[in-house]
């Protein structure tokens, strides 16, 4: 683990990331020290920094630190955490602050391969996402809604839970983004009010567009999800998981889902 470029495991107790969740993070996979999906990861990290008015670290510096922490790992999970740093008490942003940058790595064996091959089972979560457009899309450090939603089930056969916002609109999974295939189009929830805009989501959208597919971001209802021809979930570590079962509805992995899996 590197903290501001130096080996370490401790940060200040007054760090605003710890006190207020004042920061953001990205999670990604690296192979032999090289991060996967980096153009999309970097794009999202830079956009999130701008939205939160956090200084964005240098890209070359980050890549160097990723290579350092993952040097001895063939396959690794990399976590990048950026906070506003230590500051005085109170919510006011410090006029002068030194951001905290944490880059860590852990060995990663991957998820069970049958999730991608055969598809996964999901459930609807009772915990709703608050509507807050200023934070929409940002992978900020306050993930309490996801933590509470994930605590709703303990059955290992259920791989993911789907979350709605306070208006009952489908937004995302607790750890994934959602896509539907309907009428030859690729549909995904519009993330302008809440939710996390993941790097894999952006990669899927770009890849589908390059294939000449129509991709639409829109507000989706639970009945629309259940009526879809294909449904899949994605994130940077899982890749693409076909949705096999959600409540009473069942699917087989579809042709477009398989094509995107092969490309990504």
Catalytic residue among 29, 100, 139, 188: 139
The active-site residue, picked from 27, 68, 127, 207, is 27
Q: For residue 86, what are its two tokens?
A: 């230590």
Contacts of residue 160, defined as CB under 8 A and 6 or more positions apart, other chains included, come to 120, 122, 123, 173, 174, 175, 176, 233, 241
Question: How many Å apart are CA 236 and CA 175, to the nearest integer?
Answer: 10
Q: What is the DSSP string of 157-170?
A: TEEEEEEEBTTS-E
- Residue 72 is a catalytic residue: no
Three-state secondary-structure class, residue 177: strand
Let me know if 172 is a catalytic residue. Answer: yes
- Distance in angstroms (rounded) separating the CA atoms of residues 116 and 123: 17
Q: Say which of 29, 65, 160, 172 is annotated catalytic.
A: 172
CA distance 98 to 81: 14
Residues classed as catalytic = 27, 139, 172
């Amino acid at each position: 683990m590197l903290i501001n470029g130096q080996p370490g495991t401790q940060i200040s107790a007054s760090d605003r990331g710890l006190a207020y969740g004042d920061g953001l993070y990205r999670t990604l996979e690296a192979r032999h020290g090289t991060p996967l999906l980096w153009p999309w990861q970097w794009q999202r990290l830079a956009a999130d920094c701008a939205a939160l008015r956090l200084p964005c670290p240098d890209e070359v510096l980050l890549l160097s630190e990723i290579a350092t922490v993952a040097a001895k790992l063939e396959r690794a999970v990399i976590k990048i955490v950026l906070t506003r740093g230590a500051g005085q008490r109170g919510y006011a942003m410090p006029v002068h602050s030194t951001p905290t940058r944490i880059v860590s790595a852990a060995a990663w064996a991957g998820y069970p391969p049958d999730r991608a091959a055969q598809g996964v089972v999901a459930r609807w979560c009772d915990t709703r996402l608050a509507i807050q457009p200023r934070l929409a899309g940002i992978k900020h450090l306050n993930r309490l809604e996801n933590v509470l939603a994930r605590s709703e089930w303990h059955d290992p056969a259920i791989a993911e839970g789907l979350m709605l916002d306070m208006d009952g609109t489908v937004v995302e999974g607790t750890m994934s983004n959602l896509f539907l295939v309907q009428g030859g189009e690729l549909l995904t929830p519009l993330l302008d009010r809440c939710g996390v805009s993941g790097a894999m989501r952006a990669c899927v959208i770009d890849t589908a567009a390059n294939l000449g597919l129509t991709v639409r971001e829109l507000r989706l209802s639970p009945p629309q999800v259940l009526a879809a021809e294909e449904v899949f979930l994605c994130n940077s570590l899982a890749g693409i998981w076909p949705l096999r079962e959600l409540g009473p509805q069942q699917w087989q992995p579809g042709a477009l889902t398989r094509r995107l899996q092969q490309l990504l």
